[in-house]
């Protein structure tokens, strides 16, 4: 029976399982993510070689495709990006029905996507068990803008703009293979009737918040063009805000910058 149970455990049946408990309800990029990794023993004793954690998100990428003819098409694929990965070097044996706790503090990268619209971020936890199916746990995170970006969004909202869509789009020239793109539409205020939509890409590091803008004044619509323009170096509406700036000042500077171009 013991050998049979070990065989089942190697296939994932009656094996140890992992459950990661996130200590915070809401995070902002740059925060410390505190977790309690709980390992629950199965029906047999098992050796755990390591605990692996990965912070992940999805992004969209347009990939050229061909169906064997002369016509070239573009297919939009959903890719997975590992934003950060950690290894907890805890090798241990867990007895049947035992529970072990491992606490960890993980630094959330500055450009972790904001979880609004279609943007999702999750923490993937995996137990490394030799010659067996590795147990996994997947936990969604709620990520909100940092104070500087929140100040910009607040100013845009007060000026009558509303977020319509948020997506992570593939782009070249950045540490990550994508950028997060925010699409705003004017519903009232000074830009209503002047703009059809405003697209913004935000990129943050320790020193500053970098912003790229594209404004559509016509009816054809931009919708996803900004990341492509960035990749080709064709976008020139750009401003940089120091990290020490007060959020309200950040919003005021962005509105003044947009007015100067439009």
pLDDT tens across 87-115, in order?
A: 988 888 989 989 999 999 999 999 999 99
Can you tell me the distance from the alpha carbon of 143 to that of 25, in angstroms, rounded to the nearest whole number?
A: 9
Could you state, in order of their start, the residue ranges of all structural domains in the chain? 2-141, 147-261
Name, in order, each residue with C-beta under 8 angstroms of 254's C-beta and a sequence gap of 6 or more: 152, 155, 156, 211, 239, 241
Indicate the pLDDT class of residue 8, thresholds 50, 70 and 90.
Answer: very low
Question: Pseudo-torsion of CA 150, 193, 233, 64, nearest 10°?
Answer: 100
Can you tell me the distance from the alpha carbon of 253 to that of 225, in angstroms, rounded to the nearest whole number?
A: 24
CB crowding 29-54: b at 16 or more within 10 Å, else e: bbbebebebbbebbbbebebeebbbb
What pLDDT does 67 receive?
Answer: 66
Looking up tokens 């500053």 gives 208
Q: Which of 39, 14, 11, 19 is nearest to 133 (CA)?
A: 11
For the domain made up of 2-141, the CATH class stated in words is mainly beta
Q: What is the DSSP string of 100-116?
A: EEEEEEEEPPTTPPP-S
pLDDT higher than threshold 50 for residue 234: no
pLDDT higher than threshold 60 for residue 213: yes
Looking up tokens 């940089």 gives 240
Q: What does residue 248 show for φ and ψ, rounded to 5 degrees?
A: -65, -40
Q: Pick 209 or 231 by higher pLDDT.
A: 209
**Tens digit of each residue's pLDDT (9 = 90 or more) over 16-66:** 889 999 999 999 999 999 999 999 988 888 888 999 999 999 999 988 876
Can you tell me the distance from the alpha carbon of 12 to that of 155, in angstroms, rounded to the nearest whole number?
A: 52
Strand order, beta sheet including 32-40: 17-22, 32-40, 99-107
* CA 41 remoteness from chain centre: 32
């Amino acid at each position: 029976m013991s050998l049979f149970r070990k065989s089942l455990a190697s296939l994932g049946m009656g094996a140890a399982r992992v459950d990661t408990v996130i200590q915070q309800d809401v995070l902002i990029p740059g925060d410390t993510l505190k977790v309690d990794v709980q390992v629950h023993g199965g029906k047999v004793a098992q050796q755990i070689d390591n605990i692996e954690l990965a912070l992940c998100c999805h992004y969209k990428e347009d990939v050229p495709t061909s169906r064997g003819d002369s016509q070239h098409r573009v297919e939009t694929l959903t890719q997975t990006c590992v934003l950060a990965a950690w290894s907890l070097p805890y090798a241990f044996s867990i007895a049947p029905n035992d529970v072990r706790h491992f606490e960890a503090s993980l630094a959330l990268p500055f450009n972790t996507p904001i979880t609004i619209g279609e943007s999702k971020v999750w923490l993937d936890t995996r137990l490394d068990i030799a010659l067996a199916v590795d147990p996994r746990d997947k936990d969604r995170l709620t990520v909100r803008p940092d104070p500087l970006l929140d100040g910009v969004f607040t100013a845009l909202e007060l000026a009558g703009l509303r977020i319509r869509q948020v997506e992570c789009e593939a782009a070249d020239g950045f540490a990550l293979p994508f950028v997060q793109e925010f699409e705003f539409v004017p519903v009232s205020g000074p830009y209503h009737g002047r703009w059809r939509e405003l697209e913004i890409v935000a990129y943050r590091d320790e020193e500053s918040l970098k912003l790229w803008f594209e404004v559509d004044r016509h009816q054809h619509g931009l919708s996803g063009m900004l990341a492509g323009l960035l990749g080709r170096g064709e976008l020139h509406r750009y401003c940089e805000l120091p990290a020490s700036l007060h959020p309200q000042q950040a919003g005021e500077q962005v509105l003044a910058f947009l007015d100067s171009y439009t």
